[in-house]
Chain A
């Protein structure tokens, strides 16, 4: 059947709108990247749009020499690597028993866990708990409260539940114990969903901001997010001062340093994103089917 005129216009419109949506997501980032490697004069005169003008890496030089960004970069990596490790181990340990039909009281436990998703004590009591455990200013304050995300737990549980029971029975007959079944059968079968959860946890830890702000006071332990936030906040102050008229000449445009900092924070994520993208769509769908 030949598509009618209306249908052709319709599908062309769909392609155009989607292209615009895709570009809208990409262009701001390209703009920031261009800002960070353009020359100061070009940025100050507003000539930089989506490609760099007058190539210069001064912003990065200033960023790495003038701010403790290397230190906070390493802190972010530290927080993320160990955070993901702990979270994955405990999410697996939580999800697996909840799928075993012979696990006593699993409905009660499931309810108790899901309830924490709907209702929580709130920020202040959580803070007081962490403080009374003397975890303030240690990274344990970041790792422990977010150890198991209920959403991720439910995603993994649903996935494991869908592994056919026959697999379990067969391995039992072959003399496979509980731990061995989990480690050698369940986990290898769950690789796609584990990759997804790892990505979610990793992004969460990498981007963690509020918890660091709340629980870490020592500026030597700040992560990238807090450092970048401080840079941006100081830029807002500067532009507010300028807007109100009491302007002093700024030597190197702070936008450029911030742009460079944003790029430094985005790059590691962009590096792993393509590898994990095909997995997470699957992971989200599993979670969506049975939340």
Chain B
């Protein structure tokens, strides 16, 4: 009985929109609504893959997210391994409290901090840069440094929190393995390499699978907040494009096609990643 509202919720807010995605194959207009707008087959998709702008946006999305995933991936692992080595509990607790904190800030706050710190006139970093090199640098208005700031701010926000999962995995490694290794004369580095990392393997694979599912989606908030017209060539991604052109510009069908394409690719990537992982015995399902 208590489950009825839940079923209703998932149908109305998850499955109805899924069904609504058929407007990607239609020419949507307000008068006819989702059901009665005329079918146009794959026209929206053809348009999507023949327009340079949309192609560039898909490419931007891939570049930004692959860069973020692979650059930021090792940080939580290193953090967790280091935290695991700490024997003084008070120190460990303080560091954990601090590094988990940024996760709870919204991108509005993080990018507010970024914009302030990198501001060309009197931002903190710009000030340091100026005193070292003697001239200012528009960090947020050059494509290279913008990308670096984008990826860096992602690491700053999430690395600590993602480390929790690896810490959990580390705590389940049998301590006798370390004792045995150190009896056999393995150095700390050797122990990390031969005991810790293999112990983390399952978690690492799992996190990679989950990351694969997010390749096509670059979080809207982060891009929307950090981008500016000077770097829009590389910073416009699928989610911001759907918002600007689709919602603001009422191009519902074209951007729904883009959204559907995004969802399909994500789903396929997750399935492929899982299939590969399963071959090595670590599948998610």
Contact = CB atoms under 8 A, between A and B. Distances in A.
A291 B124 CA distance: 41
Contacts of A120: 14, 17-18, 263
A125 B10 contact: no
Contacts of A112: 10
Interface residues of B, number: 92
Given A90-B5, A243-B120, A284 B168 contact: yes
B262 interface: yes
Interface string A244-277: 0000000001010011011001100100011001
Given A123-B239, A243-B120, A128 B263 contact: no
Interface in B89-126: 91, 94-102, 104-109, 111-113, 115-117, 119-122, 124
Given A21-B95, A25-B102, A240 B141 contact: yes
B243 interface: yes
Contacts of B17: 120-122, 125-126, 128-129
Interface string B213-239: 100000011001100111000000001
A170 interface: no
B226 to A, nearest CB: 9
A216 interface: no
A173 interface: no
A35 B10 contact: no
Interface in B228-277: 228-230, 239, 242-243, 246-247, 252, 255-256, 259-260, 262-264, 266-267, 270
B154 to A, nearest CB: 14
Nearest to A144: B13
Contacts of B82: 14, 17-18
A165 interface: no
B34 interface: yes
A148 interface: yes
A83 to B, nearest CB: 14
A171 B32 CA distance: 56
Size range of the interface on A?
Answer: 35 or more
Where chain B touches its partner, the secondary structure class is helix
Contacts of B115: 232, 235-236, 258
Interface string A13-46: 0110111011111101101100100000001111
A137 B28 CA distance: 23
Nearest to A91: B6
A193 to B, nearest CB: 14
A125 to B, nearest CB: 3
A68 B68 CA distance: 36
A46 B116 CA distance: 12
Contacts of B111: 232
B55 to A, nearest CB: 19
B284 A291 contact: yes
A21 B228 contact: no
A261 to B, nearest CB: 8
A49 B7 CA distance: 53
A238 B91 CA distance: 43
Nearest to B262: A122
Nearest 6 Cβ contacts at the A-B interface? A122-B259, A125-B20, A121-B17, A207-B106, A22-B98, A125-B17
23 contacts: A23-B98, A25-B101, A44-B122, A49-B124, A93-B3, A109-B7, A119-B264, A122-B17, A122-B256, A122-B260, A125-B18, A125-B19, A129-B20, A203-B104, A207-B107, A209-B108, A214-B247, A232-B108, A239-B120, A242-B121, A265-B106, A288-B165, A288-B168
Given A15-B91, A43-B122, A261-B112, 7 more contacts: A14-B85, A46-B122, A90-B9, A122-B256, A132-B34, A148-B10, A288-B169
